[in-house]
Amino acid sequence: MTTNFPNLLRLDGRGIVLLGAGQGIGEATARALSQAGARVLCVDKEGDLATEVAREVDGEPCVADVTKRADMERVFTQARSSIASIRGIVDIAPR
């Protein structure tokens, strides 16, 4: 029996919260997650960056400062309503 490894790596329909999605490694990660089928909440403290990346990956933008508790509470409230089931969190946000 041959294992189909690409199918094992699929994230079809799974909601992923991506902190630091606006540029660099975060932006590339948003693309990779989207190509694997994930629904991505693109979080960045720069609203224009979050919006641009979300548009490119058919995700949802979210403006938040990951160092602020109130912002993070809002992120996960938005995630539950916009991407439904949260199946993973990727934290690439600089501190």
Q: Per-residue pLDDT for 58 more than 90?
A: yes
Looking at the structure of the chain, the number of domains it has is 1
d(CA 14, CA 37): 7
Q: What is the pTM of this model?
A: 0.91
State the residue range of the domain holding 66.
10-91
| E strand or H helix that includes residue 45 | none
Q: Is residue 71 part of a domain?
A: yes
Q: Is residue 55 part of a domain?
A: yes
We report the CATH number of the domain holding residue 36 as 3.40.50.720
- pLDDT tens for residues 8-55? 889 999 999 999 999 999 999 999 999 999 999 999 999 999 999 999
Q: Is residue 19 part of a domain?
A: yes
Confidence label for 95 from pLDDT (cuts 50, 70 and 90): confident
d(CA 37, CA 73): 25
